[in-house]
A and B are shown apart, each in its own frame.
Chain A
Amino acid sequence: MWDHEIRAMASAHAVIAASVFVATVAPAVFVPGFSVYGAHLLWICSVSGAVTAVSVAVFWLLGVSPPTKKHTLGYKLSRLFRSCLYVLLSCLFFHAVVVLYGAPLIESALETFSLAVLLTCLTTLRCLCVLGPNVQAWIRVFSRHGAMSVWDTCLQITVACTLVGAWVGAFPIPLDWDRPWQVWPVSCSLGAMIGYLTGLVAAPAWIHYHRKQLTYKCK
């Protein structure tokens, strides 16, 4: 039914996944001795940056974002400003949530914050791209009947996968195996990333197989 949109989604996801891959591999060329565990903060930075840039570009090119009502420069600027504000707030929000879940408060604040930044880039940014800076709409999307387009459903799936991935990523931390990936926040950010990639694959596939059942009201 929405074959065209699904195809667009699949290719967009392929591009984003490729960018994640490049962002993981590329620093190894420039930084000697780079590894995902060893220079974890750098990896988070490069991946977050890549995902942010590519997602914004792809969604802008595809024109998924909600149509703006006014076209004045001032309105656009205020939208941009609000988006930036939301990104910042979301970083703080995720930081707080992660601390409440048991992350150390002071000791490795930088690591915790970088995880929050990664989570923001993987989830909030996508919400911004698809729904615009509108928290009401964000909350609305995450309900059974809240999705109003294929992209909303896709958003539900990827965000849920990312967050569940980060949650599951916390499980190995207490184990006494002394592996490099058990160090905070490596397992969580890896979990989030794996969840995100799974979401990227799963969303088009799920929508494709359930396209008969999916009905959306117009926006």
Chain B
Amino acid sequence: FRRGLPVLSLLLWLCAVYFVGIYLFVGGFLLVRLEVNRTSTCGDVLHPGEEPGDFCRAQPRFRRAVVLIIDALKIDFARFDPSNTAPRPYENKLPVLEENVSSKPLQSRLYPFRADPPTTTMQRIKGFTTGSLPTFVDVGNNFASSAILEDNLIHQFGQMGKRVVFMGDDTWESLFPKKFYRSLPFPSFNVKDLHTVDNGILQHLYTTMVGDDWDILVAHFLGVDHCGHRYGPDHPAMADKLTQMDGVIRSVIDRLQNDTLLVVMGDHGMTDTGDHGGESQKETDAALFLYSPSPIFQAPLSQNEPDVVPQTDLVPTLALLLGTPIPYSSVGQVLLPLFSPHQQTEGAVGGLSQLEALWINAKQVNRFLETYSSMAKDIPPESLSQLKEEFARLSAEYFTSVKEGRSPSPHLASSLQAYLTSVRDTCRATWARFNPLKMAAGLAILASACLMCFVMSELSLLLLRENASGLKAPVAVALTVGVCAGAAQLLTRGYIEAAWCLAACAFGSEIPFFWRACRLKTPAVSKNGAKPLKLSRWLTPRHLLVPPLVVPLLRCASLLSDSYVIAEGRVVTFLVLSLVLYIPIHLNWNDLLLPQSLDPLKSAGLLPSPILSPSTVRKESNTLLACFGVLIGIMYLSLSFHGCREEQGFCQPSPFLSPLSRLQDSQVKNLYYILSVISLGICTYLLRHCLCHYGNLNSSSGTVFTAHWILPLLSVCLALHWAVSATPEDSFRKLAELIRMAQLALPRAAFCLLGLGLGLIWLDPVTVFVKSRTSASSRSSALPLPRYRASTGISPQAELRHLIPQIYQRMRRSLDPGELSGGTEADNRPTVEAYGLGTVYSAPVLLFCGMLGIGLLLLHPEGMALSFLLLLLEMGALLHIHASSTTLSGMHGAQSGDFNVPWTTVVVWSLAVTQFFHATGHLPTFPSIQWGAAFVGFPDGHTGTILPALLVTLNTFASHILFAVSCPLLLFWPLVRGSRSGEEGEDAVMEMRLRENPQQFSSALLQLSTRYLFILGAQVFSSVCAAAILRRHLMVWKVFAPKLMFEALGFLVSSTSLLIGVTLVLRVDMAVGRWFKRLIPDASR
């Protein structure tokens, strides 16, 4: 294990650096907020004050309200400048607002209305109904549906018995299901469609307004926003759209009654290109127009007229004007100009006075702050305590002024306002702002981690050879730098943020590595000139335009485009196919695919004579082409298991994705069940056959026990479980109890079997069967013995080629040099036959993967068994192609002594992960997560959250896990397969060659893992880049941010699985070493 430790620690360190990068970026990009699931009611007692009914104390100022939301109504669109003689298409198109503001100053106002980022429609609707600052991830929100669970205005209106009529953007319908008295949603998905929603609203708006069965009317127009996305603001279509809106507002104003408030607002602005989502002022500044047929404003130009109205402020204002409680989580403050400045007599129509409104508002915000800070700790404690003190001071002041009966000073009102503003600013700083510094640091760390992976994979041998002391320097530097960063933070800011310390550690640890790598390069070149590492020579188009480099580049580039992310499944399949096609073409280009003997050039002596015999070449190339055909077929079939994103309009999800219990037709159900069971059977059979074929099933170790008993038992369990869960509940009334039992017990038994099997493999991985032969024939070694004995009687499967007597001899020689010098060869003639020694490494890994695969299949819908079979076959085909091409291209371990896995193979392997992510019915979107996995074996639900989260993660990232764990097989397979072609005795050592070159073995293992990590890391990096660059793209919260989260989580799972795989290999290596040690004393006796 000493040998494996550097490999493992280097990999761990790499992964840690990646994780820190991802953590930093995500911390700056995805803002997380806890949802407070409490609601306000009229009877709430707001401290201090103690009298209930604060919210509903006064007569409401308005009975009804019309809220017209014009999506993306930027403030620039709403302003009117009469001096502008040559207006642009978006300027001066809404004169109705200016006309009203100037002609009826007591009835109307126009304000800039500032939204908080993310400025996307859904987050904004959440924002101006809850009064809070929604982030991308509102914890507590269930991902499966997007309904708002937090307290909100619509809920409050419903509580107060107001009839809310909604028309327009159908996002509302999904956010507030069943909350409306009447609802007329129109599809909002097609951005190119400018008119459907608007015309739909206009058909019903006026008739509804004239009628009397509504109290709150919400109409959400989408035309302006879609026009911006399609043409940009500076386009004649925008002029038409805004003019249409002008007409709409005019008609609505004409139909208003005295008790009705009109609110015209934009949910966000837009950039000059018509996009939104980010935090620039062009995106955040929308328009807010308030109008009432009767005067509400006290003076044409009030003293405390705000310059800009934050979007959160609409919620408390509307709530108090309409006489409903302010939603619990609102952090807005009331718009003072809408309230009368002086105390009014009880029961007057005027409603609350300014100070009363502010006081209620402040108490409500204080209550929310207290509740939130008891739930979550993300608000900095010192600002929290400051706010508390401020509120205590203000309430004391308020009570003294009320007691003394004097009119409160204007100073108190402005202090209350200042308090509310500082609460909102604190919350905003915590929730609603990207942290560009963290994002940049995360990007930098990820980029350097990728570079480190690349350097490590190129220098793996040198690193392992010259670096016996391991990671002492990086760890020391990292700790020093981390502590320094912490101390610096403590000195400058007074508190420590762990993220920055981690970042400093990650950066710090990289410095010594790169420094050493730079120094390492120089001797590397001088030692063997054949390996030039000069960058300039690498940057020629001939080196850069090779498919193994172009395909990952294309893959990374494809993550930057929303269309490609949406079509990811097909795109990845296309790329994998292209790269696989490159393998035979490349071999043919190098004259390696066809036997050389046909070539007349060979006789001319122009080419070096081939290493392999023509028959071998023919056999290998036939294998390669056959596997290639199989692979292509599999990839084509795998396309039929894809799910569908909502963006893919005419797509039909695969029929295999729905669980059997949902199928109605029993004939089809039976067919699917049989298909699934057959594929499961084939999977199991193939695994066992492969082990058996290489003679690994003869011994009596734990692994063999697993293969013999646990694997079939697991499959049977699975098949029974499918059968039970597919039976319709009402068909066997009498057996209902039994079925329920089975639904609980079968999957749990399968989990136990899986755990047992994996544990046994881990504990006892050596699958070698030893047969000692002390026959006379071996004594009389003067005769040249037949090197191999057919092993009659022991196992028919263990064939000739798997007996490896030489191994033992070699090992002995290498272990006991003293004996060799004196003793004669004759006495040390092999007396031991070892079955399955040639595949001693790959057998446990293979079985481990197979068991894991069947276990993961348990978490999937039944139909996915076919897909898992395809996955297994694709793995096999890829391994065979890799082995054959390695043999054909003469990169045989025996010749060169190194076991490099070429980039092409690693790239295909890592792209296949994404391919099968899609082909097992997954998609990088939250609605497509297969939640059913959480209830496998737990049909009655869970109490905790860790177990279901684990099960869903295992289900989602099944292909990541399988491909990562089986990654070391790429290293072994050429050796396993390669021995077949070389019939000479020396070649029959198979994987024992790895043991003979321990240095090369660990370096190849390190290289393989770092290459794999590099490709995965590059994908994470590019999806992180996509999220950072396109953070104000229309699709950022729909496509890029979920993609980033899936990619990051996938990387996490992949790297962990890879570490498990590598550790398993090292564990086997250790066990084999112990096995040899045990063997030698036995034999020498």
Instruction: Verify B588–A143 contact, CB threshold 8 A.
Output: yes
Nearest A residue to B568 by beta-carbon distance?
Answer: A174
Nearest A residue to B590 by beta-carbon distance?
Answer: A144
Instruction: Verify A217–B601 contact, CB threshold 8 A.
Output: yes
- Residue from A145, A175, A178 within 8 A of B601 (CB atoms): A145
Instruction: Verify B578–A174 contact, CB threshold 8 A.
Output: no
Instruction: Verify B591–A144 contact, CB threshold 8 A.
Output: yes
Tell me the minimal C-beta distance from B420 to chain A in angstroms: 44
Nearest A residue to B578 by beta-carbon distance?
Answer: A167
Task: Verify if B308 is at the interface (C-beta below 8 Å from A).
Answer: no
Instruction: Verify B604–A175 contact, CB threshold 8 A.
Output: no
- Residue from B566, B577, B589 within 8 A of A144 (CB atoms): B589
Task: Give A135-184 interface residues, CB cut-off 8 Å to B.
Answer: 136, 139-140, 142-146, 167, 170, 174-176, 178
Nearest B residue to A136 by beta-carbon distance?
Answer: B598
Instruction: Verify A174–B591 contact, CB threshold 8 A.
Output: no
Tell me the minimal C-beta distance from A215 to chain B in angstroms: 10
Task: Verify if A30 is at the interface (C-beta below 8 Å from B).
Answer: no
Nearest A residue to B564 by beta-carbon distance?
Answer: A174
Instruction: Verify A143–B590 contact, CB threshold 8 A.
Output: yes
Task: Verify if B607 is at the interface (C-beta below 8 Å from A).
Answer: yes
Nearest B residue to A99 by beta-carbon distance?
Answer: B636
Task: Verify if B585 is at the interface (C-beta below 8 Å from A).
Answer: yes
CA distance A167 to B547 in the complex (A): 13
Task: Verify if A101 is at the interface (C-beta below 8 Å from B).
Answer: yes
Task: Verify if A102 is at the interface (C-beta below 8 Å from B).
Answer: yes
Instruction: List residues of chain B with CB within 8 A of the CB of A1.
Output: none
Instruction: List residues of chain B with CB within 8 A of the CB of A175.
Output: 561, 563-564
Instruction: List residues of chain A with CB within 8 A of the CB of B563.
Output: 174-176
CA distance A161 to B8 in the complex (A): 45
1/0 contact trace for B567-599 toward A, CB 8 Å? 100110110011000000100111101100011
Secondary structure of the A contact surface, majority rule = loop
CA distance A176 to B561 in the complex (A): 10
Nearest B residue to A156 by beta-carbon distance?
Answer: B589
Instruction: Verify B574–A145 contact, CB threshold 8 A.
Output: no
Tell me the minimal C-beta distance from B959 to chain A in angstroms: 19
Tell me the minimal C-beta distance from B1055 to chain A in angstroms: 29
Instruction: Verify A100–B635 contact, CB threshold 8 A.
Output: yes
Instruction: List residues of chain B with CB within 8 A of the CB of A217.
Output: 600-601, 604, 606
- Residue from A101, A142, A178 within 8 A of B577 (CB atoms): A101
Instruction: Verify B574–A101 contact, CB threshold 8 A.
Output: yes
CA distance A176 to B645 in the complex (A): 15
Instruction: List residues of chain A with CB within 8 A of the CB of B10.
Output: none
Task: Give A71-105 interface residues, CB cut-off 8 Å to B.
Answer: 99-102
- Residue from B591, B635, B636 within 8 A of A146 (CB atoms): B591
Task: Verify if B639 is at the interface (C-beta below 8 Å from A).
Answer: yes
A174 touching B570 in the complex, CB below 8 Å, given contacts A100-B636, A143-B590? yes
Tell me the minimal C-beta distance from A143 to chain B in angstroms: 5
CA distance A136 to B571 in the complex (A): 33
Nearest A residue to B571 by beta-carbon distance?
Answer: A174
Instruction: Verify A145–B578 contact, CB threshold 8 A.
Output: no
Tell me the minimal C-beta distance from B647 to chain A in angstroms: 9
Tell me the minimal C-beta distance from B552 to chain A in angstroms: 15
A139 touching B585 in the complex, CB below 8 Å, given contacts A102-B574, A174-B570, A174-B571? no
CA distance A146 to B591 in the complex (A): 8
Instruction: Verify B635–A143 contact, CB threshold 8 A.
Output: no
Instruction: List residues of chain B with CB within 8 A of the CB of A144.
Output: 589-591
Task: Verify if B253 is at the interface (C-beta below 8 Å from A).
Answer: no
Task: Give B583-632 interface residues, CB cut-off 8 Å to A.
Answer: 585, 588-591, 593-594, 598-601, 604, 606-607, 632
Instruction: List residues of chain A with CB within 8 A of the CB of B635.
Output: 100
Instruction: Verify A100–B588 contact, CB threshold 8 A.
Output: no
Tell me the minimal C-beta distance from A123 to chain B in angstroms: 14
Instruction: Verify A142–B571 contact, CB threshold 8 A.
Output: no
Nearest A residue to B607 by beta-carbon distance?
Answer: A145
Instruction: Verify B561–A140 contact, CB threshold 8 A.
Output: no
Instruction: List residues of chain A with CB within 8 A of the CB of B606.
Output: 145, 217
Instruction: List residues of chain A with CB within 8 A of the CB of B598.
Output: 136
1/0 contact trace for B509-531 toward A, CB 8 Å? 00000000000000000000000
Nearest B residue to A173 by beta-carbon distance?
Answer: B567
Nearest B residue to A175 by beta-carbon distance?
Answer: B563
CA distance A140 to B594 in the complex (A): 9
CA distance A136 to B600 in the complex (A): 13
CA distance A120 to B562 in the complex (A): 34
Most interface-central of B578, B589, B606 (chain A CB within 10 A): B589
Tell me the minimal C-beta distance from B651 to chain A in angstroms: 12
Nearest B residue to A141 by beta-carbon distance?
Answer: B588
Instruction: Verify B588–A139 contact, CB threshold 8 A.
Output: yes
Nearest A residue to B561 by beta-carbon distance?
Answer: A175
Instruction: List residues of chain A with CB within 8 A of the CB of B564.
Output: 174-175
Instruction: Verify B589–A174 contact, CB threshold 8 A.
Output: no
Instruction: Verify A143–B591 contact, CB threshold 8 A.
Output: yes
A100 touching B594 in the complex, CB below 8 Å, given contacts A175-B561, A176-B563? no
Instruction: List residues of chain B with CB within 8 A of the CB of A178.
Output: 192
Tell me the minimal C-beta distance from A95 to chain B in angstroms: 13
Most interface-central of B570, B588, B599 (chain A CB within 10 A): B588
CA distance A142 to B600 in the complex (A): 16
Instruction: Verify A139–B594 contact, CB threshold 8 A.
Output: yes
Instruction: Verify B578–A142 contact, CB threshold 8 A.
Output: no
- Residue from B566, B585, B639 within 8 A of A142 (CB atoms): B585
CA distance A207 to B1040 in the complex (A): 47
Tell me the minimal C-beta distance from B568 to chain A in angstroms: 9
- Residue from A102, A140, A143, A145 within 8 A of B570 (CB atoms): A102
Tell me the minimal C-beta distance from B627 to chain A in angstroms: 15
Instruction: List residues of chain B with CB within 8 A of the CB of A140.
Output: 594, 599
Tell me the minimal C-beta distance from A184 to chain B in angstroms: 13
Instruction: Verify B585–A145 contact, CB threshold 8 A.
Output: no
Instruction: List residues of chain B with CB within 8 A of the CB of A146.
Output: 591
1/0 contact trace for B534-573 toward A, CB 8 Å? 0000000000000000000000000001111011001101
A174 touching B567 in the complex, CB below 8 Å, given contacts A100-B577, A101-B574? yes
Instruction: List residues of chain A with CB within 8 A of the CB of B639.
Output: 102
CA distance A170 to B575 in the complex (A): 11
CA distance A145 to B588 in the complex (A): 10
- Residue from A102, A139, A145 within 8 A of B573 (CB atoms): A102
Tell me the minimal C-beta distance from A103 to chain B in angstroms: 11
CA distance A136 to B599 in the complex (A): 11
Instruction: List residues of chain B with CB within 8 A of the CB of A176.
Output: 562-563
Instruction: List residues of chain A with CB within 8 A of the CB of B593.
Output: 139
CA distance A115 to B577 in the complex (A): 19
Tell me the minimal C-beta distance from B919 to chain A in angstroms: 13
Nearest A residue to B639 by beta-carbon distance?
Answer: A102
CA distance A178 to B567 in the complex (A): 15
A145 touching B591 in the complex, CB below 8 Å, given contacts A175-B561, A217-B601? yes
1/0 contact trace for B248-277 toward A, CB 8 Å? 000000000000000000000000000000
CA distance A136 to B593 in the complex (A): 12
Tell me the minimal C-beta distance from B564 to chain A in angstroms: 6
CA distance A142 to B632 in the complex (A): 22
Tell me the minimal C-beta distance from B423 to chain A in angstroms: 43
Instruction: List residues of chain A with CB within 8 A of the CB of B570.
Output: 102, 174
Tell me the minimal C-beta distance from B290 to chain A in angstroms: 39
Instruction: List residues of chain B with CB within 8 A of the CB of A139.
Output: 588, 593-594
Nearest B residue to A215 by beta-carbon distance?
Answer: B606
Tell me the minimal C-beta distance from A142 to chain B in angstroms: 6
Tell me the minimal C-beta distance from B399 to chain A in angstroms: 61
Instruction: List residues of chain A with CB within 8 A of the CB of B585.
Output: 142
Tell me the minimal C-beta distance from A60 to chain B in angstroms: 27
Given contacts A100-B636, A170-B574, 5 further A-B pairs with CB under 8 A are: A142-B589, A143-B591, A145-B607, A167-B578, A174-B566
Residue positions of B touching A, CB distance < 8 A: 192, 561-564, 566-567, 570-571, 573-574, 577-578, 585, 588-591, 593-594, 598-601, 604, 606-607, 632, 635-636, 639
Q: List 5 interface pairs A-B (beta carbons < 8 Å), by A numbering.
A: A139-B594, A143-B590, A145-B591, A174-B571, A217-B600
Smallest CB-CB A-B distances: 6 pairs: A174-B567, A175-B563, A143-B591, A176-B563, A174-B563, A100-B636
